[in-house]
Chain A
Amino acid sequence: MELTREEESALKGEQGEVMQTAYRILVATGEATDAEKLIPIEWAHLAGVNYNTIGDAGEELLSGISKDARVKVKTTLNPMGFDIDNVSKYGLDENFISKQLSIKNSYETMGVIPSFSCIPYEIFDIPKDGTQVAFAESNAAIHVNSYDNLKTNKESAFSALASALTGKSPYSSLRKEDTPNVTIRMKVKDPNELTYGMLGFFAGKVGDTSVNIFGLGDMDKRQCKAMCGGMGTSGTCAKFLFGEGDSDCEKVDFDEKEMQTVHDELNTAEKGDIITLGSPQLGLEEISDLAGKLKGRSFKKRCMIFTPRTIKEQAKKIGYTNELERAGCEILSDCCTCLTPLINKDDVDAVTTNSIKGAFYLKNSTGVDVNLKSLSQIIEDETR
């Protein structure tokens, strides 16, 4: 990879240790993705915020970096472990809370916007078509590449952090015109968001850096997010292109059989003790739709709803939060289904969710069983 004189100097350590590490990460990223140079980016979105995911090593690393490093571009942030407004109700241990607050503080010191959201594409203005950004958080990278006409790698937590601190990212294949070599033909009839999540999960396993998807009907926001979340979980793929692709493209069908295989891998329980909605976090459209569906009904068991703080505030003004709380929902900001300590295997054996992404991490990281159901099925079975 070709570096400018200034970039070379940073890599040698002449601009301090943090910049040297940042450039070492960018160079490894560039080598991995066949980039020939670094280019400027306008927005970085960071993952690696939840103490459950980054641990003591991550907390210490960020604390050290924040002593003198500051972000050079607009930088937003993934969810952390809990909602700061109601953490006292959940009996988390003091160590978790203090380490989580230290992480929050380190990011804020570096100049990061404390958005604590995995759906930055729904809560911030989208820049003009073709803008180069650096998004960690796999569902967000896939969403902005596929639906928002931005360009990003499927960044790692470290490559996005390095891009935030330098304002640069390697000019990798995904930032140019990318031509997928696989087309997935969607054959399943009457799909709901769970179907799209499974399609995404399947596509992520089949595709390389990008994949064509053919045979999709109109999709609502919930279904698009489910597909991005599913794909981000299972593979290295970072972009959907909608169409049949070239004639020499390998064609792979996604039919009932393929769907059943994904379902069998992730569905491990017949019913859940609690319900979680929001992985990715729910946007205002989904909150409004949910409030409508819950008119005159109440959940028979705990239902946790994850949404960004800004969305929660808007929903409150419109009156949705009242309606959801009346129906028995716990509305949580700043955190998400994935790896939150608010869901603990000591208290919960199985969780019902409509999220494939959530299911994967609930099963593998939280260590609970998962009962997969679409939202309409959840409302039919779990409310009265």
Chain B
Amino acid sequence: MKKILVSGKVQGIVLKSEKSINFLGTVDKKTGIISDKNHDLFEKSIKDTIFVFPSGVGSSVGAYTIYSIKSNNTAPLAMICKKADLTVATGCALANIPLITISDEEFSSIKNGMNLSLDTDSSNLIHYQ
């Protein structure tokens, strides 16, 4: 379902995962690099990307990881999820990282490496470049 959780306007390159993320323990808070060997984005950095993933999972403290990567300038430009969980929603709210949720169909249509812009004031929300 389409929802705007944290508003904003950004443009960037998509980094997409089909796997959910436990921010605590999976994302390095200094570098923004995925450290979970079982994750399909292992050793990739989420810094300055439009980070597209199904949902956040796991520890409630993951919200601090999101706030930390923002403070360390290693955060994504925006996040797009299928389902908003509280860790990601509140982490993004405090860190002021734009966050929206989209339908399953639209989620499938976004591909890794796409250049897209997100504008929560526009009726389409997502514009493909």
Q: Which residues of A contact B (CB under 8 A)?
A: 21, 24-25, 27-29, 31-33, 47-48, 50, 53-58, 61, 78, 136-138, 141, 153-160, 162, 204, 232-236, 265, 339, 360-361, 364-365, 367
How distant is the Cα of A58 from the Cα of B89 in the complex, in angstroms?
Answer: 17
How distant is the Cα of A156 from the Cα of B24 in the complex, in angstroms?
Answer: 11
Give me the 3 closest cross-chain CB pairs, A-B, nearest first.
Answer: A32-B84, A57-B71, A28-B93
How distant is the Cα of A361 from the Cα of B86 in the complex, in angstroms?
Answer: 20
CB atoms of A28 and B68 under 8 A apart? no
Produce 1/0 per residue, B6-37, CB < 8 A to A.
10000000000000101011100100000110
A-B contact pairs, 5 of them (CB 8 A): A28-B5, A154-B85, A265-B38, A360-B25, A365-B24
CB atoms of B25 and A157 under 8 A apart? no
CB atoms of A48 and B64 under 8 A apart? yes
Q: Is B62 an interface residue (CB 8 A)?
A: yes
How distant is the Cα of A226 from the Cα of B60 in the complex, in angstroms?
Answer: 17
In the bound complex, residues from chain A placing their C-beta under 8 Å from that of B24 are 53, 339, 361, 365
CB atoms of A55 and B90 under 8 A apart? no
CB-CB under 8 A for A58 and B64, given A28-B6, A31-B3: yes
Residue of B nearest to A49 (CB): B61
CB atoms of B60 and A136 under 8 A apart? yes
CB atoms of B57 and A54 under 8 A apart? no
Q: Is B92 an interface residue (CB 8 A)?
A: yes
CB atoms of A57 and B25 under 8 A apart? no
Q: Which of A31, A33, A159, A233 contacts B59 (CB 8 A)?
A: A233
In the bound complex, residues from chain B placing their C-beta under 8 Å from that of A153 are 86
In the bound complex, residues from chain B placing their C-beta under 8 Å from that of A25 are 90, 93-94
How distant is the Cα of A1 from the Cα of B86 in the complex, in angstroms?
Answer: 16
In the bound complex, residues from chain A placing their C-beta under 8 Å from that of B89 are 28-29, 31-32, 156
How distant is the Cα of A17 from the Cα of B5 in the complex, in angstroms?
Answer: 20
CB atoms of B5 and A54 under 8 A apart? no
How distant is the Cα of A204 from the Cα of B57 in the complex, in angstroms?
Answer: 9
CB atoms of B63 and A31 under 8 A apart? no
In the bound complex, residues from chain A placing their C-beta under 8 Å from that of B70 are 57
CB atoms of A156 and B87 under 8 A apart? yes
CB-CB under 8 A for A58 and B59, given A156-B87, A156-B91, A159-B86: no
CB atoms of A55 and B84 under 8 A apart? no
Q: Is B55 an interface residue (CB 8 A)?
A: yes
How distant is the Cα of A156 from the Cα of B57 in the complex, in angstroms?
Answer: 11
A27-B93, A365-B25 provided; 5 other pairs, C-beta below 8 A? Answer: A47-B59, A48-B60, A48-B64, A156-B60, A234-B58
Q: Is B47 an interface residue (CB 8 A)?
A: no
In the bound complex, residues from chain A placing their C-beta under 8 Å from that of B4 are 31
CB atoms of B57 and A236 under 8 A apart? yes
CB atoms of A155 and B60 under 8 A apart? yes
CB atoms of A159 and B90 under 8 A apart? yes
In the bound complex, residues from chain A placing their C-beta under 8 Å from that of B29 are 55, 57
Closest beta carbon of chain A to B125's beta carbon, Å: 14
CB atoms of A157 and B64 under 8 A apart? yes
How distant is the Cα of A339 from the Cα of B29 in the complex, in angstroms?
Answer: 14
How distant is the Cα of A363 from the Cα of B93 in the complex, in angstroms?
Answer: 29
CB atoms of B90 and A156 under 8 A apart? yes
In the bound complex, residues from chain A placing their C-beta under 8 Å from that of B59 are 47, 53, 138, 232-233, 361
CB atoms of A236 and B90 under 8 A apart? no
CB atoms of A137 and B25 under 8 A apart? no
Q: Is B112 an interface residue (CB 8 A)?
A: no
CB atoms of A162 and B68 under 8 A apart? no
Q: Which of B25, B60, B84, B93 contacts A154 (CB 8 A)?
A: B60
In the bound complex, residues from chain A placing their C-beta under 8 Å from that of B6 are 28
How distant is the Cα of A24 from the Cα of B6 in the complex, in angstroms?
Answer: 9
How distant is the Cα of A383 from the Cα of B101 in the complex, in angstroms?
Answer: 52
Closest beta carbon of chain B to A344's beta carbon, Å: 16
In the bound complex, residues from chain B placing their C-beta under 8 Å from that of A155 are 60, 86
In the bound complex, residues from chain A placing their C-beta under 8 Å from that of B63 are 48, 156-159
In the bound complex, residues from chain A placing their C-beta under 8 Å from that of B103 are none
In the bound complex, residues from chain A placing their C-beta under 8 Å from that of B22 are 233-234, 360, 364
CB atoms of B35 and A156 under 8 A apart? no
How distant is the Cα of A50 from the Cα of B68 in the complex, in angstroms?
Answer: 14
CB atoms of B93 and A157 under 8 A apart? no
CB atoms of A154 and B86 under 8 A apart? yes
Closest beta carbon of chain A to B20's beta carbon, Å: 8
Closest beta carbon of chain A to B1's beta carbon, Å: 9
Most buried by B among A21, A32, A153: A32
In the bound complex, residues from chain A placing their C-beta under 8 Å from that of B65 are 53
CB atoms of B60 and A157 under 8 A apart? yes
Q: Is B76 an interface residue (CB 8 A)?
A: no
How distant is the Cα of A141 from the Cα of B58 in the complex, in angstroms?
Answer: 12
